[in-house]
Structure 1
Amino acid sequence: MALIKSIKGLTPKWGKDCYFSENAAIVGEVTMGDECSIWFNAVVRGDVAPITIGNRVNVQDGACVHVTNQTGPTIIEDDVSIGHNATVHACTVRRGALIGMGATVLDNAEVGEGAVVAAGALVLGGTKIGEHEIWGGVPAKFIKKTRPNQAESFAQHYVEYSKWYLEEQD
């Protein structure tokens, strides 16, 4: 079972059919919808401001979702994929977006619906990424528009993967 930890009376809450790996950590004021997955060594830490996560969101291995007490909360809408070793901090990630492996999204940034933040990209605080745009680089800049369903398809794969792990727990 993952490390589920209350802090200052705030306890994580989640919906049905969620999978949390044994060494994931979920702390504080975290609210998740249904069919979410938090993978190996991932951290979702809502200790100084709330983190709200929609349905079918996956936080992949080694990723960190956190907040800042001056600029929180973190809002992650439905069908978002947060790639391996990514950092999502006190920002908003809209429905169906993909945060690539090793990418960083900083305070007050907004990632638009169906957008892709490329692997290794650094999205500076306050940046607004439009719907269905691909951004990459350090600092991240607009590259091009996405193909139809380019980002959104990843979340469904992780719902399927999480079912494999949930079946093993029975």
Structure 2
Amino acid sequence: MPCYEFDGVVPVVHPTAFVHETASLIGDVVVGAGCYIGPFASLRGDFGRVLVGEGSNVQDSCVIHAFPGRDAVLEPASHVGHAAVLHGCRIGSYALIGIGATVLDGAEIGADALVAAGAVVTANTVVPAGGMAMGCPAKVTGQLDEQALAWKRNGVHLYQQLAQRSRESLRPVAPLQQEEADRRRTTWSADAAEPLHVKRSARG
């Protein structure tokens, strides 16, 4: 992985974490045990500190940064979707930051909360534990039900498994020139995870 010392401060990555080789860690970054840091994620600790708590995931093309003397904190088991941007905020355990969402300085996302895809959480906004926020600027629209909470937690656990499986089996290869006749799939079971709207429609 591209990992850079800055101003005498070296990133820390727990040996059980997985950090993709294209992710970039700069300066005062601490990645905890069992974390997953996806391709092209940028964790820049050149101003403030970036703390990624145990069992958290930071997916593809995310950016995490903070102002000088401030921290960007992901508490244990945080779940940060593709291309999200976090700046000087705090994300609670089992909170889900949706795809392409932005969370700005001083914002606090409570444990088990959900920030919808594409939402913009403005500075100093507080999303309560178990709450859902959506829109631009994001507004709290209510509390998540038990099905949504369980679905969200399953996503965290799936990425914890992905971190372990990536450490064990991800390796660079040359691509095949054509698809095999009986091409196998990865060994995830088909019911390991599915979109929440699919889960809800199956229930109804």
Letter matched to residue 116 of structure 1: L
- Tell me the equivalent position of 1:88: 86
Show CA shifts across 1:113-164 (max 9, x none).
1000000000000101100001000000012211233433221110111222
What TM-score do the two structures reach when normalised by structure 2?
A: 0.79
TM alignment of 1:67-146, pairs within 5 A: 67-69=66-68, 72-146=70-144
Residues 15-38 of structure 1: per-residue CA shift (max 9 Å, x gap): 231111110001110112100111
Q: How many Å apart are 1:9 and its aligned residue?
A: 0.5
2:57 is aligned with 1:58: yes
Q: How does 1:8-47 map to 2 (within 5 A)?
A: 8-47=7-46
Instruction: Kindly provide the amino acid, as one letter, of the partner of residue 57 in structure 1.
Output: S
Supply the distance in 2 between the matched residues of 1:151 and 1:28 (Cα, whole angstroms).
31
Q: Is the 8 A contact 1:124 1:139 kept in 2?
A: yes
Match in the other structure for 2:196: none
Q: CA RMSD in A?
A: 1.3
3-state SS of 1:164 partner: helix
1:152 & 1:131 partners in 2: Cα distance? 14
> Hey, what's the Cα distance between the residues in 2 that align with 1:117 and 1:63?
15
Equivalent pair of 1:80/1:152 in contact (CA under 8 Å): no
Q: What amino acid is aligned across from residue 132 of structure 2 in structure 1? A: I
Higher-Rg structure is 2
What's the TM-score once normalised by structure 1's chain length? 0.94
* Structure having greater relative contact order (Cα 8 Å, sep ≥ 6): 1
User: Runs of 4+ in structure 1 displaced over 4 angstroms?
Assistant: none
Shift of the alpha carbon at 1:169?
5.1
Are 1:49 and 2:32 counterparts?
no
Share of identical aligned residues, percent? Answer: 31
Partner of 2:157: 156
CA drift of 1:8 comes to 0.3
Bigger fraction of residues in strand? 1
Comparing both structures, which one devotes a greater share of its residues to helix? 2
5+ long unaligned stretches in structure 2: 172-204
Q: Confirm or deny: 8 A CA contact 2:36 2:162 kept in the other structure.
A: no
Distance 2:46 2:131 in 1: 31
How many equivalent pairs are there? Answer: 168
